[in-house]
Amino acid sequence: MSDLNISQLPEEYRELQNVVREFANEVIDPVSAQHDKDHTFPYEVVSQMGEMGLFGLPFPEQYGGMDGDYLLFGIALEEIARVDQSVAITLEAGVGLGAMPIYHFGTEEQKQKYLPDLTSGTKLAGFGLTEADAGSDAGATRTTAVEEGDEWVMNGSKQFITNSGTDITSLVTFTAVTGQREDGKKEISAIIVPSDTPGFTVEPAYDKVGWNASDTHPLTLANARVPKENLLGERGRGYANFLHILTEGRVAIAALATGAAQGCVDESVKYANERVSMGRKISEYQAISFKVARMEARVHAARLAWMDAAAKMIAGEDFRKEAYIAKLIASEAAMDNARDATQIHGGYGFMNEYRVARHYRDSKILEIGEGTSEVQLMLIARELGL
């Protein structure tokens, strides 16, 4: 797969693209504006995505998956994000942050217990890493898990956790300090906490600038007890394992961002060919046509970047640098295209009923979540030996 010709995708990839595009246009788009306005989670859409197998795309059939790969997953995210980033991030986080940690690091018993519900989309899971003072800085993690008999007793809080408070959320995997390493640094492990655990509280949802139909909450653990077998992966490897998950997630976020950038191009081409000003379609003005051309160039570069990273991942090659580059390029393309699309639409671009207005509000978080642009630059420089 590392030599994949991305301009000549195999038929099954094209088929999925067409199916998801039709679903996005006919099912997601008609309800997007209302869910965004009401800040409501689109349960009916998520249920249908589950029935389509989208939550199981990159997982083996033995765990209820579709036996696909991250390229298929990225294509699906692109098509959905064209029309609704909230729905796209629900799928991305449900797969990449919710199910993937269990698939990569879980015991066979944990995989059999949790994955079938997650890959079917009937349940969602969250990824509890970020704290008020800890995200990229693992040493600042304050959430603790103390052994008492056959249990972990957990205390602490997390913030900005996606898919953590829906009616179908079944668990959140938390990073927590479980001791001290020989070098004196914190030993950080990952532990699965079911949503119905006493002492686990989902705090009120955030009032966000965008992604209004995506579920995002702060979480609190107060003497929450879970069995010791809920340890996910090797003790002390929690943060390192989550870094791997984040690297994969950056490829998926890049695909999502590419879709958002593409959606801005689509809407701008349509509007420019319809809107008449001073007796001419505004597409006939070079200022507009050049702006749209530059938007299309950004999309093309972003798509090349995320697909290259995905191809390396699938081939088992080191894809870290490519993932960082893809996340940087695609997230900036989404934000730049959203700004330009809003300008092209003029006053209409400032109205929330228009897709470009939602993209304008939604896209900024793409430059922040799962590693800021500054973090991506730092990581790229590090890969270069700087």
Active site residues: 370
Instruction: Quickly count helices (H) and strands (E) in the chain.
Output: 12, 10
Distance of CA 140 to the CA centre of its chain: 24
Nearest to 327 by CA among 267, 238, 247: 247
Q: What angle do CA 318, 324, 328 make, to 5 degrees?
A: 155
Phi-psi sector, 312: left (phi>0), alpha (psi -120 to 50), beta:
alpha
Contacts of 164 (CB under 8 A, 6+ apart): 126, 128, 172, 202, 215, 216, 217, 219
Pairing of strands 200-202, 186-194: unpaired
- H or E element at residue 138: none
List the one residue out of 263, 283, 264, 265 whose CA is nearest residue 273: 283
Q: What share of the chain is helix, strand, coil (3-state, %, to 5)?
A: 55, 15, 25
CB 291 within 8 A of CB 339: no
